[in-house]
């Protein structure tokens, strides 16, 4: 399984420097396509609570998180401020360009971004997660 490379970036934000190390151990999950859906096996989440999907038709990876009660979240890792790629860092998502922070479900925690990350509609069955990449 492909792993996300270590991302280190120095930020100068609010007059101070901050070192980021993101997605050091985030896996890229395999998927199949069914019409406008990306199909991911739930078994991927036995070991990891979150992972990435690299889909050719999107400008950034999709970050999928397993929530409580067998629910899932899928967000596009494209910052809503100026479209840099956001990086997983622990249980939050951080933009290396100007320091915006998001929760792992894409909610803005720290400006300058003022809009949440794009969120995909998801449905599930007993085996799979279906991420709708069109007509959201
Ligand atoms: S592009 Fe992400 S904070 Fe500016």
Instruction: Name the region of 122 (left: φ>0; alpha: ψ -120 to 50; beta: rest).
Output: beta
Q: So what's the pLDDT on residue 3?
A: 54
Spell out the domains of the chain, with CATH numbers in brackets: 7-132 (2.102.10.10)
Question: How high does pLDDT run on average in the chain?
Answer: 85
Report the length, in residues, of the chain: 136
pTM: 0.83
**Cβ burial, residue 123 (10 Å; 0-12/13-18/19+):** exposed
Hey, what are 39's tokens?
A: 């199909």
Q: How many Å lie between the centroid of ligand 1 and the Cα of residue 100?
A: 6
> To test the ligand 1 pocket, which listed residue (113, 116, 117, 118) has its Cβ within 8 A of the most ligand atoms?
113
Q: What is the distance of C-alpha 26 from the center of its chain?
A: 10
Q: What is the pLDDT of residues 95-108, one digit of tens each?
A: 999 999 999 999 99
C-alpha 79/C-alpha 87 separation (Å) is 10
Q: So what's the pLDDT on residue 64?
A: 97
Q: Whose CA is nearest to atom 1 of ligand 1?
A: 82
Q: Which whole-number Å values give the CA distances from 63 to 16, 17, 68, 89, in the listed order? A: 28, 26, 16, 12
- Residue whose pair of structure tokens reads 């007509």 in the numeric block: 135
Residue 100 neighbours by CB under 8 Å, 6+ apart: 79, 80, 81, 86, 94, 108, 110, 111, 112, 113
Is any ligand 1 atom within 6 A of the Cβ of residue 20? no
Q: How many Å lie between the centroid of ligand 1 and the Cα of residue 5?
A: 20
Is any ligand 1 atom within 6 A of the Cβ of residue 98? yes
Q: Which atom of ligand 1 is nearest to the CA of 82?
A: 1
Query: In sequence order, what are the beta bridge partners of 130?
Result: 39, 123
Hey, what are 8's tokens?
A: 């280190």
């Amino acid at each position: 399984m492909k792993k996300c490379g270590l991302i280190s970036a120095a930020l100068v934000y609010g007059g101070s420097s901050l070192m980021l190390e993101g997605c050091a151990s985030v896996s890229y999950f395999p998927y199949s396509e069914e019409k406008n859906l990306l199909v991911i096996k739930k078994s991927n989440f036995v070991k990891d609570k979150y992972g990435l999907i690299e889909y050719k038709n999107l400008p950034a990876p999709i970050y999928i998180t397993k929530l409580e009660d067998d629910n899932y979240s899928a967000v596009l890792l494209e910052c809503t401020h100026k479209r840099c790629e956001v990086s997983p860092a622990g249980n939050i998502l951080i933009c290396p360009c100007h320091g915006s922070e998001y929760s792992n479900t894409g909610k803005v925690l720290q400006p300058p971004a003022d809009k949440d990350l794009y969120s995909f509609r998801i449905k599930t069955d007993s085996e799979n997660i279906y991420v709708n990449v069109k007509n959201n």
